Amino acid sequence: MTEHTTSHEDRQPSAVRPPDPADPRGALLRTPEAPEAAAAAAPAAHGRPNDPAHPGAPAPCGAQERAVGGAQDQAPGRHDRAGASAASGTGDSSEHAQPSTDQSSPDQPDPHRPRPAHPGAMTPTPAQHPLSPDPLPAGALVPGAALPGVPAPGVPAQGPAHAVGQAALQRDGDRLRFVGAATRRIARGMDLDEIVMGLCRATVPTFADAILVYLRDPLPVGDERPTGPVVLRLRRTDRLRMIEDGTEEQESESTPLSPALQPQLVPAQPDLAATAELCEVEPGGALAEVLRGVRPVFADSPAALAALPELLGGSRSVPGGRRAILAPLRGRRRVIGAAIFLRGPERPAFESEDLLVAAQLATHSALGIDKAVLYGREAYIADELQRTMLPETLPRPTGVRLASRYLPAAETARVGGDWYDAIPLPGSRVALVVGDVMGHSMTSAAIMGQLRTTAQTLAGLDLPPQEVLHHLDEQAQRLGSDRMATCLYAVYDPVSHRITIANAGHPPPVLLHLGGRAEVLRVPPGAPIGVGGVDFEAVELDAPAGATLLLYTDGLVESRLRDVWTGIEQLRERLAATARLTGPDHPPPLEALCEEILDMLGPGDRDDDIALLAARFDGIAPSDVAYWFLEPEDATPGRARRLVRSALARWDLDDLSDAVELLVSEVVTNAVRYASRPVTLRLLRTDVLRCEVGDDVPQLPRLRQARATDEGGRGLYLVNKLARRWGATRLSTGKVVWFEVPRPGLG
């Protein structure tokens, strides 16, 4: 920066010269001057130390610098603005000098000259040059003045007052750094326990030797108004813990502070063991008044002296004086608790500024707790919604074993549109369903629940898989024009060892054979549900015993790192590698297989929720099945009893012969009475003995209480009393009535 001297008189031809490289001020430039002028200017620049009007006044920093570096050359009868600004401590290189109207002698006091300032002060001067009509800007610093805590060049620090000021500035800076670090730690918490722990560990031991945190029990959620009395429960206490060598174990992550604020070793710390765990706040009492006031108070204040015994219990007290702070915790709507900060006798007591620190900690903690409670309620609702939308437990149908998994998309997106289901069907069959509704919101979960209910209803009608998807497509269009979903519906028959599959835009299933070979089944992809006007196609495939069918949603195989088909190939390879570990004759356990499949997902490799359904086909051996067609005539019940007796004798189940013959006779009699086509009778020997009777009448029988004069109506009553389970299922061609009887030694 170069100073330009401007005057109404003639300019000096060489008024500027380069700065002295040895000058410690660096950029302050000086004009050439004669030695005589410098000697004459030096006493005036030093502020006349012997002037009785200014006893003992030190010289301004600018004057000292001119004494070291030389004063600016001034022509007689005029003042250079730059030189005058430097003398007054408000130099500005962009201002121009004006002609002087002051004709006083240099030896006379200048009434416009400011009083000399302390060399280390940074107070802005309001003085202005006597020849300048504009005042200096507020906050302008004196050139050469010392910065805070840094004395001017060549000027020593000024005594005890300077040290006290520096210590106060250091403590204030430490408090700001501590509050920043503590609030960051508190804000990292997502749930209630993390936030309370963050408050305790950020506070102890940096700010206090111990802390007690009380919260309302129960905590109010959102805008709901709590009923009943206000009860505070001691949620957490933290204090300094001594290690064997006598040092303290510090768990705080706060910014390191100066020794004045660092916790000291406290031999006798506050005993928190006997503190009351529950406290009922009396309406209108001292504690209620402190909590209503919101502002933290010292323990020696009149309000705290009356409130603390009510909070801690009559047998407990806190350190006297300013060694305890009671800070209410106020959330968005109401006070939700209180915190007590304690310091031991060997540590400096709290100061007035510490009340502001406690208020900041309490405010951030209370707002964080309030949000954590709201988040916890929303997460609970989401979890309950998702749980009720999915099967609580899987059924245990005959001839197939099932396992499932569900993973939400993320911790913050706990609900989604993925679902799976297993629905028992007549004839020991089972329907396997997996679907995916677009989105990860409550709306997606609600649409998923409606589609799942519709699929269960359609499965109960025993419709073919392609018909089920057709009706699901119509239901999705009724729910809205933008309700899109994919679905795969399969029906497994353990007697025929066949599976029928229909697909609506879903990833194809993978079949793991007993020998360890994994193949992707070729199923027509179809259009997603909700498109409308699309015909669905079903295929029938072999389902050999010991094979495992895997149904899944696209979240398992698709992510930002890979496309769908790459993920499907990785899944197939993972299944084959897992099967090789157990050998060619032993399929891997279903639960372990599901875990292995999910382990293929790496960190950050999941963008969508995942539904997984695994089915192990055990089947029913032909030797365990007996099947007959019976004509609807009067002699049919007697023939049915003989056939059943013969089959039970072949299976060494003669002990069940009397009961099973009676039940078969009653059910077949009801079928023959109303049927117009042949009646079917089938016996299945698994872990139970199952009997199924089918006819072409769609009306389902119902259990009723027969009157004493009625000749009939007691058949189902006998079935209900003698069978372990029984039921009736409507088919597209009629109905099936079935019952199960436990096998001897297995029931």
Q: Could you tell me if 352 and 404 lie in one domain?
A: no
Cα angle for residues 278, 280, 284 (degrees, 5° grid): 150
Question: Which string of b and e fits 266-283 if b means at least 16 CB within 10 Å?
Answer: beebbebeebbeebebee
**Average pLDDT rounded to a whole number, residues 324-347:** 88
Q: Could you tell me if 511 and 478 lie in one domain?
A: yes
- Is it the case that residue 121 has pLDDT exceeding 80? no
State the pLDDT at residue 276: 60
Sheet holding 335-342, edge to edge: 278-281, 230-239, 210-216, 335-342, 324-330, 297-298
Q: Could you tell me if 566 and 440 lie in one domain?
A: yes
473 part of a folded domain? yes
Range of the domain at 221: 169-242+249-378
State the pLDDT at residue 711: 62
**Average pLDDT rounded to a whole number, residues 477-491:** 89
Q: 104 — phi, psi (to 5°)?
A: -75, 160
Band of the pLDDT at 293, cuts 50, 70, 90? confident
154 part of a folded domain? no
* Helix residue ranges, H only, 390-426: none
How far is the C-alpha of 440 from the C-alpha of 44, rounded, in Å?
81
Q: Could you tell me if 628 and 613 lie in one domain?
A: no
State the pLDDT at residue 551: 96
Looking at residue 715, the DSSP 8-state letter turns out to be H
Can you tell me which residue has the tokens 């899109």?
484
How far is the C-alpha of 736 from the C-alpha of 695, rounded, in Å?
7
Can you tell me which residue has the tokens 């960051």?
184
Q: How many residues does the chain have?
A: 747
Q: Could you tell me if 266 and 369 lie in one domain?
A: yes
How far is the C-alpha of 540 from the C-alpha of 507, rounded, in Å?
17
Q: Could you tell me if 13 and 135 lie in one domain?
A: yes
- 215 in helix, strand or coil? strand
Share of the chain above pLDDT 90, in %: 34
Instruction: Please report, for the domain that includes residue 281, its CATH number.
Output: 3.30.450.40
164 part of a folded domain? no
State the pLDDT at residue 243: 35
Nearest to 135 by CA among 78, 95, 79: 95
Looking at residue 554, the DSSP 8-state letter turns out to be G
SS3 content of the chain, % helix, strand, coil (to 5): 30, 20, 50
**Average pLDDT rounded to a whole number, residues 234-241:** 76
Q: pLDDT tens digit string along 33-84?
A: 444 444 444 444 444 444 444 444 444 443 343 433 443 444 444 444 433 3
Least confident of 106-115, 590-599, 632-641: 106-115
Instruction: Please report, for the domain that includes residue 558, its CATH number.
Output: 3.60.40.10
Work out the number of other CB atoms within 10 angstroms of the CB of residue 233: 16
Mean pLDDT of the chain: 76
- Is it the case that residue 129 has pLDDT exceeding 70? no
State the pLDDT at residue 604: 63
For residue 732, give every residue at least 6 positions away whose Cβ sits within 8 Å of its Cβ, in sequence order, or none: 461, 462, 463
Least confident of 28-42, 315-329, 332-346, 653-667: 28-42
371 part of a folded domain? yes
Q: Could you tell me if 366 and 404 lie in one domain?
A: no
Give strand ranges (E) for 335-393: 335-342
61 part of a folded domain? yes
The last residue of a domain, from among 555, 585, 617: 617
Q: 382 — phi, psi (to 5°)?
A: -65, -45
**Amino acid identity for residue 710 in this structure:** D
DSSP characters for 633-660? Answer: STTHHHHHHHHHHHHHHHTT-GGGHHHH
Band of the pLDDT at 169, cuts 50, 70, 90? confident
More confident residue, 381 or 593: 593
747 part of a folded domain? no
Q: Could you tell me if 191 and 60 lie in one domain?
A: no
Distance of CA 205 to the CA centre of its chain: 28
Q: pLDDT tens digit string along 497-536?
A: 999 999 999 999 999 999 889 999 999 999 999 988 888 9
The last residue of a domain, from among 572, 592, 617: 617
Q: Could you tell me if 92 and 122 lie in one domain?
A: yes
The answer to whether the pTM exceeds 0.95 is no
Q: Could you tell me if 107 and 197 lie in one domain?
A: no
How far is the C-alpha of 394 from the C-alpha of 421, rounded, in Å?
8
- 493 in helix, strand or coil? strand
Distance between first and last Cα of the chain: 102
**Average pLDDT rounded to a whole number, residues 550-563:** 88
Please count the CA atoms within 13 angstroms of the CA of 288 that sit on its side-chain side.
Answer: 9
Share of the chain above pLDDT 70, in %: 70
State the pLDDT at residue 94: 39
**Amino acid identity for residue 479 in this structure:** L
Least confident of 271-280, 374-383, 593-602: 271-280
Q: Could you tell me if 38 and 101 lie in one domain?
A: yes
391 part of a folded domain? no
390 part of a folded domain? no
Question: How many structural domains is the chain composed of?
Answer: 4
- Is it the case that residue 455 has pLDDT exceeding 50? yes
Q: pLDDT tens digit string along 77-87?
A: 444 443 333 33
- Is it the case that residue 439 has pLDDT exceeding 90? no
Question: Contact at 8 Å (CB) between 30 and 17?
Answer: yes
Strand (E) or helix (H) holding 184? helix 159-187
Tokens matching residue 621:
């051996």
State the pLDDT at residue 95: 39
Instruction: Please report, for the domain that includes residue 684, its CATH number.
Output: 3.30.565.10
Q: Could you tell me if 289 and 410 lie in one domain?
A: no
Work out the number of other CB atoms within 10 angstroms of the CB of residue 39: 10
Tokens matching residue 648:
């039970």
Band of the pLDDT at 118, cuts 50, 70, 90? very low
More confident residue, 481 or 522: 522
